[in-house]
Structure 1
Amino acid sequence: MAKSTKVIEMSSEEVAVVGPREPCPCGSGRRYKACHGKDRAPLTFVSRPFEGLPNETEWVALREIVPAAVGRARVKATGQEIVVASLLPNSVSAMKRTDGVVMLALQVQTSSGDASRDMAAALTAILQADNGSSVVGGDLGNTSRLQDLLDLSVPFLPETHANFDFWFTEDEMAKPETSAALAEFEGSIIETERIRVDLGSAFWCAFPDRTVVRWLLPHEEERSLNALARLAASDELNLGNGTRYLGAFRADGLLVPVFDVQHETPIRAFELALTTLSRLFMSSFEANAPLTSAERRARAGLVGRQLTLR
C-alpha cells in the first residue's frame, strides 16, 4: 500500500514575499500572486525609486547608463561600508567577496515595483551571509528601502571603470583565469567617460556607430520636459556646433536628454557647453508662464522622441 503524502499548510506570513509572477516559495508550483501572495497587500509601484538618496542621478546612471562603475555607501545601523556597483558576476543582486567586501548591484531584475525595495532586500540578505556568498533577490517581506538602510549623509560619488576589475580581490586579480575573464567582458563595455556638471550627472558614451552625451536631470519629469520644450522652441537645446538633440530617456522617474556629438571633441568642451545649458535649463525650469503655442509644438516633438527604460 502506497504511503500517503503529508501536505504541510503554510500561512502567508511564513512564506517569503517574491514578485507576483514568480513561483510561490511554498513549492506549490503556482505563481505567487495566485497562491500565498493573494492574501498580501499589493506592492506599490514607485516610479522614482532612488529619490531621497544622495546624488539621485548617480544611482540612476549606474542602473541605466554606465556599464562599469562603483561607488561607496554606508549602512546606517552599523557604519559598515559597502560597494555599490553597476553590475556583478552572473547578474547577481549582491555578493560578499572572499575578503569580506559587500557589493550591491544596481543593474538587476526587480520584482516588487520598487527597485529600492528589491535592492534593500538583497543588501539585508548579503550582510548576513558568509564570505564568498552571493544572492539573487531577497525576502521582500522583511526589508525596508535603501533610503531606510543607508546613511544618507554619505555622498555617493561613483567612479567609472574600463572593465570589471572591481569584482575581484587583489589575490584573485593575480590569477591568469581572472585576466582571461576580464578580457572576455571588455568587448561588451561601451566606452564611457564622466562629464563634470553642476546640474545632475552627464556621461560621454562612444558607441560603434555614434558618440553621444547623456545628461541626467535631477528634477521631476514633466516640469523638466516643459523646460526642454522652451529651450527647443528657442533653438537652444544643443551642446554647440556639430551637436544635435536626439531625444530623451525616461529612467527611474528622471529625464535623460541625449545629444549626438562629434567623437573627436574633447570632454572639456562638453563641460563648458553643459554649464551654459544648465543655466538656461534652470531659468526655463523656474518659469511660471504657460507654454506658448510654439513651445507646445516643441514639447509634442520631444515627447515623440522619448523612450522609457525598464
Structure 2
Amino acid sequence: MGKKNRKKDAAAKPKRQEVPFVERPFEGLKGEADLVAMRELLPSASAPLTLTGELADVPVLLVTLLPEMWPAIRREDGTVVVAMQASTRSGDASRDVAHAIEAAAKLEPGTPLRHLELPEVGARLQDLVDPKADWELTVHGDFHYWADPAAEKSAELDQALEQAAEHIVPSKAVEGVSAAYWCRMGKEYLRWVRTEDEYELLDALAKLHAADETPLEDGTRLIGFFRSCGLMVPVWELNAGTEADELAGVAKKFEDRLAKALADDASLTPEQRRARSGLISREVTLR
C-alpha cells in the first residue's frame, strides 16, 4: 500500500475516544465505599442494582468475581450479572461497569460475556442506576451466585465452586458501621473504607494517633492504610482470634472518636504532624 493510501485510510478511520481518568469514580452513588471494597478488597460479595431509563427493565446483580474473569453474564431469566473485579479497566471504573452492563444486556439469555474491549466515552454507573433505589451489599463465603438458578446443574460446576471457595479469604461486614470489613489472612484484620476527604481524614487520624486513640481496643493497632478509587482504607491488626461479631461495639466507639477529631479544626501540633507523616509512610495505593 502506498504512502498516500495509508494516510487516506488513517484519516478515514475515526479516532478512538479514550475514557478520561476519574480519581473517585463511584462518587455520588449509594454504597460508594462498598463498591470500592467489592472492586479491591472483598473476595466474594454481591449487590442488586435497580436501573433507570432504557435499561430500567433489566435486573442487574453486581458481584466481585465471575468464572475465568468474565466481565459479565446474562442468566436464563435475563438477569445481568456483572463482575467488579474484571480485567477490562479504563481510567474510570464507573464507566467500565456501565459498559459491561450495556454489553451484557444485549446478549441472549444464558450467554456469558467472555471478553470486553476497553470502553469509549459513554454512560457511567451514575447515569444508569436509579438514585432512589436502596443499596444492600452481602458478603459471601463462597461463589454460589456463579450458578444460574434457571440453568441445569452440573458436576463440573459444583466442582469449580468447591475449588474456588477453598481459596476465599474469610471476610465479613462489621455490623453497626458502614463499609468496615473483618478478614482473616493468617492474622485477623479490619479494613474500613472511608468516604471523608483524604486530607481531613489524615489530620483526624493523626490527632487520634498522637493521643493513642487509634487502637480499637487493647492489643489492636492501626498499621497503615490503602488508597483506592479516591478513598482511604485504614487497616487495623486485631487481637488473635478476633471474630467479626466482636467488633461492632469497638468500631462504633472509634467512629465516634473519629467524628470528634474530624470536627476539630485546630492546626496540628508538632507531635500530631509527626504522627501524620508516620501514617503517610505506611500508605499503599491499590488504584
Do both share a fold (TM > 0.5)? yes
The CA deviation at 1:196 is: 1.5
For 2:26, the aligned partner's letter is: F
* Residue 64 (structure 1) aligns with: 40
**Distance (whole Å) between structure 2 residues aligned to residue 235 and residue 210 of structure 1:** 22
* Residue 152 (structure 1) aligns with: 131
* Residue 80 (structure 2) aligns with: 102
**Distance (whole Å) between structure 1 residues aligned to residue 213 and residue 261 of structure 2:** 11
* Residue 97 (structure 2) aligns with: 119
> Does the 8 Å CA contact 2:48/2:60 hold for their aligned counterparts?
yes
Give the root-mean-square deviation of aligned CA atoms: 2.0
Unmatched 5+ residue regions in structure 1?
Answer: 1-5, 14-35
Deviations for 1:33-85, whole angstroms, at most 9, x for unmatched residues? xxx44xx4x53211111111112111111111110111011111124321000
**Distance (whole Å) between structure 1 residues aligned to residue 26 and residue 258 of structure 2:** 22
**Distance (whole Å) between structure 2 residues aligned to residue 180 and residue 268 of structure 1:** 31
**Distance (whole Å) between structure 1 residues aligned to residue 239 and residue 150 of structure 2:** 41
Q: What is the correspondence of 1:1-310 to structure 2 with a 5 Å cutoff?
A: 9=9, 11-13=12-14, 36-37=15-16, 40=17, 43-77=19-53, 78-135=56-113, 136-138=115-117, 140-141=119-120, 143-170=122-149, 172=151, 174-198=153-177, 200-207=178-185, 209-310=186-287
> Does the 8 Å CA contact 2:224/2:235 hold for their aligned counterparts?
yes
The CA deviation at 1:111 is: 3.7
Count of aligned residue pairs for this structure pair: 278
Secondary structure at 2:207 match in 1: helix
**Distance (whole Å) between structure 2 residues aligned to residue 306 and residue 150 of structure 1:** 32
The CA deviation at 1:98 is: 2.8
> Does the 8 Å CA contact 2:58/2:80 hold for their aligned counterparts?
no
> Does the 8 Å CA contact 2:77/2:150 hold for their aligned counterparts?
no
Shifted more, 188-197 versus 298-307: the winner is 188-197
The CA deviation at 1:172 is: 4.7
Secondary structure at 1:9 match in 2: helix
**Distance (whole Å) between structure 1 residues aligned to residue 72 and residue 122 of structure 2:** 15
Q: Evaluate the alpha carbon distance shift between residue 287 and residue 137 of structure 1 in structure 2; reply closer, same or farther with a 3 A threshold.
A: farther
Deviations for 1:200-257, whole angstroms, at most 9, x for unmatched residues? 31111011x2110111112121211111111101100011012111110001111111
Unmatched 5+ residue regions in structure 2?
Answer: none
> Does the 8 Å CA contact 1:248/1:257 hold for their aligned counterparts?
yes
Secondary structure at 2:29 match in 1: coil
Secondary structure at 2:241 match in 1: coil
With the length of structure 1 as denominator, give the TM-score of the two structures: 0.84
% same residue: 32
Secondary structure at 1:84 match in 2: strand
